[in-house]
Amino acid sequence: MTTSERPVPVWRRSSYSGPNGGECLEVADGVAGVVPVRDSKDAQGPALAFPTASWSAFLELTKR
């Protein structure tokens, strides 16, 4: 897969995050099968990619 064929993630930050950009995580939409997660303070740094089902399970558990 070439760079031009890779999906371009659309990053978003939680609405619960403060305006100062402190210790926030961003997640990306639009990447099939995984949910990329990165540190908002290091947008050019590495991202972790979690399987979509695992990310959904994590969110459900944190809501409880």
Q: Which domain holds residue 10?
A: 3-63
Is a pLDDT exceeding 60 seen at residue 51? yes
- Fill in the amino acid letter for 22: G
Query: Would you state the pLDDT for residue 22?
Result: 65
User: At residue 42, does pLDDT exceed 90?
Assistant: no
The number of domains in the chain is 1
CA distances from 30 to 2, 19, 50 (A): 17, 25, 13
pLDDT tens per residue, range 8-25: 788 998 777 776 666 688
User: Which residue from 59, 10, 20, 55 is spatially nearest to 41, judged by alpha carbons?
Assistant: 20
